[in-house]
Copies of this chain bind each other. A is one copy, B any other.
Amino acid sequence: MKKIKEEDARIQKNIKGIKHKIVVMSGKGGVGKSTLSTNIAYGLAMSGKKVGLLDADLHGPNIPIMLGVEGKKLSSVREPLKINENLKVVSLSFYLKDSDDPIIWRGPAKTGAIKQLLGDVNWGDIDYLVVDLPPGTGDESLTVAQTLGKVDGSVIVTTPQDVAILDSRKSIKFSKLVNMPVLGIVENMSGFICPHCDERIDIFKSGGGEKVSKDMNIDFLGKIPLTSEMVETGDEGKPYIFSKKSGTTYESLNNVITKIVKKIEG
């Protein structure tokens, strides 16, 4: 018990320089949660905020690829990796010997790892900590919710089709159950514009996110279309919001960030 108390005290001391905390979550995997977390964090940093990005997806830590730092190691376990003047990042991936290595951990080990990431990493004084959670409502989500203390809110990411919508409702309920306010829902991969004929195609359907926001009385933060460029910029480690700087998709990403900041800072 004493050890747990010491750990919790260390965590609280460590995160007390963080002004605002945002948790990005989704019920279903593959809805673009890491892509969105990366772009939100990068966008906030571009606007002059000091930002930390914590990749809490232990089984599939993809943030390093999306920031172009996959395979990098940390100079010290206590120091996040600096992406630019305003953005630093920590991912379990930095601690792996080999990027291919699967994290075959049962729940308690995962809880321990996340507590360690939160307790040992020196985030310093920052405006925002953006936490990218793995999909679902398991150990990682619970630990983050219970350890971070007051969280400004969660951003729920979904794609428009029914199977994703059902799972996003679970995330909203989870967020409320653990007393984490829901900042709102983002409908990602909402429509695709064919680069050949410019026609719009709703591959994953459309409007599901908006509907769930009404049904469950939470804010709708916006729709972000599916584009090959979003996939490419992710794989190339150059976040869309940084590498594109204009166009419909850029604007919709920017609107999501503006809404989040407005909800938090007023």
Contact = CB atoms under 8 A, between A and B. Distances in A.
B205 A196 contact: no
Contacts of A204: 231
Contact of A139 (B30, B107, B234): B107
Contact of A163 (B58, B62, B167, B174): B62
Contacts of A192: 192, 203
A5 to B, nearest CB: 20
A207 interface: no
A59 B111 contact: no
B137 A59 contact: yes
Contact of A161 (B102, B136, B159, B234): B234
A137 to B, nearest CB: 4
A228 B197 CA distance: 17
Given A34-B163, A135-B135, A199-B196, A177 B228 contact: no
Given A30-B31, A194-B197, A228-B203, A107 B110 contact: yes
A134 to B, nearest CB: 7
B161 A231 contact: yes
Interface string A195-221: 111010111110000000000000000
Most chain B CB within a 10 A radius of its CB, from A28, A62, A102, A141: A102
A159 to B, nearest CB: 8
Interface of A: 27-31, 34, 58-60, 62, 65-66, 70, 99-108, 110-111, 134-139, 141-142, 159, 161-164, 166-167, 169-171, 173-174, 177-178, 192, 194-197, 199, 201-205, 226, 228, 231-232, 234-235
B235 A163 contact: yes
Given A228-B202, A231-B203, A235-B161, A104 B177 contact: yes
27 contacts: A27-B59, A27-B60, A29-B29, A29-B30, A29-B31, A30-B31, A30-B159, A34-B163, A59-B138, A60-B167, A62-B163, A65-B166, A100-B170, A101-B173, A102-B137, A102-B171, A103-B136, A104-B137, A104-B178, A106-B107, A107-B107, A107-B108, A110-B138, A161-B235, A192-B203, A197-B199, A205-B228
